[in-house]
Amino acid sequence: MNWTEFARWGARIADWGARYHQGLRDRPVRASTRPGDVAAALPASPPEMPEAMETIFADFEQIVMPGMTHWQHPRFFAYFPANATPPSMLAEFLASTVAAQCMLWQTSPAATEMETVMMDWLRQSVGLPEGFKGVIQDSASSATLAAVLTMRERALDWAGNEQGLSDQPRLRVYCSGEVHTSIDRAIWISGIGAANLVRIPTQGPRRSMDPAALDAAIRADLAAGLHPCGVIACTGGTGTGACDDIAATLAVAKAHGLYTHIDAAWAGAAMICPEFRTLWTGIEGADSIVFNPHKWLGVQFDCAAHFLRDPEPLVRTLAIRPEYLKTHGADGIVNYSEWSIPLGRRFRALKLWFVLRHYGLDGLRARIRNHVRWSQALADRLRADPRFEIVTEPVLSLFTFRLKGADEAAQQAFINRINDDGRIYVTQTRVQDGLVIRFQVGQLDATEADVATAFEVITALAGNG
Would you say 132 or 266 has its CB closer to ligand PLP?
266
Contact 120, 114 (CB under 8 A): no
Chain-centre distance for alpha carbon 457: 28
Piece of 38-46, 138-146, 166-174, 189-197 that binds ligand PLP (CB under 6 A)? 138-146
* CA dist list (Å): 202 to 76, 355, 454: 30, 37, 31
Which of 108, 125, 150, 182 touches ligand PLP by CB under 6 A?
A: 182
Termini Cα distance of the chain: 60
Distance of closest approach, residue 366 Cβ to ligand PLP, in angstroms: 22
E strand spans, 235-319: 259-263, 288-291, 304-308
Which helix or strand (DSSP H or E) is residue 428 part of? strand 427-431
Q: Does 304 bind ligand PLP (CB under 6 A)?
A: yes
Which of 140, 233, 246, 426 touches ligand PLP by CB under 6 A?
A: 140
Q: Does 141 bind ligand PLP (CB under 6 A)?
A: yes
Distance, in Å, from the CA atom of 277 to the CA atom of 281, rounded to the nearest integer, reads 6
Distance of closest approach, residue 265 Cβ to ligand PLP, in angstroms: 3
Buried b (16+ CB within 10 A) or exposed e, 203-229: eeebbbbbbebbbebbeebeeeebebb
Return the SS3 of 448: helix
Contact 428, 409 (CB under 8 A): no
Would you say 304 or 391 has its CB closer to ligand PLP?
304
Count of residues engaged in binding ligand PLP, rule: CB under 6 A:
15
Q: Does 180 bind ligand PLP (CB under 6 A)?
A: yes
Would you say 174 or 266 has its CB closer to ligand PLP?
266
Q: Where are the alpha helices (DSSP H) in 126-238?
A: 140-155, 160-163, 181-189, 211-223
Residue 387 identity (one-letter amino acid): R
Q: Does 265 bind ligand PLP (CB under 6 A)?
A: yes
Q: Does 397 bind ligand PLP (CB under 6 A)?
A: no
Would you say 138 or 153 has its CB closer to ligand PLP?
138
Piece of 18-26, 220-228, 260-268, 425-433 that binds ligand PLP (CB under 6 A)? 260-268
Distance of closest approach, residue 390 Cβ to ligand PLP, in angstroms: 21
Piece of 45-53, 234-242, 280-288, 393-401 that binds ligand PLP (CB under 6 A)? 234-242
Which of 92, 215, 221, 263 touches ligand PLP by CB under 6 A?
A: 263
Distance, in Å, from the CA atom of 111 to the CA atom of 93, rounded to the nearest integer, reads 15
Would you say 160 or 268 has its CB closer to ligand PLP?
268
Distance, in Å, from the CA atom of 78 to the CA atom of 89, rounded to the nearest integer, reads 22
Q: Does 80 bind ligand PLP (CB under 6 A)?
A: yes
Distance of closest approach, residue 17 Cβ to ligand PLP, in angstroms: 23
Distance of closest approach, residue 322 Cβ to ligand PLP, in angstroms: 28
Distance, in Å, from the CA atom of 181 to the CA atom of 189, rounded to the nearest integer, reads 12
Alpha-carbon Rg for the chain in angstroms: 24
Backbone angles phi, psi at 360, to 5 degrees: 70, 155
Would you say 151 or 462 has its CB closer to ligand PLP?
151
Q: Does 279 bind ligand PLP (CB under 6 A)?
A: no
Q: Does 292 bind ligand PLP (CB under 6 A)?
A: yes
Distance of closest approach, residue 149 Cβ to ligand PLP, in angstroms: 15
Written as one string, the DSSP assignment of 384-397 is: TSTTEEEEEEEETT
Footprint on this chain of ligand PLP (rule: CB under 6 A)? 80, 139-141, 180, 182, 234, 236-238, 263, 265-266, 292, 304
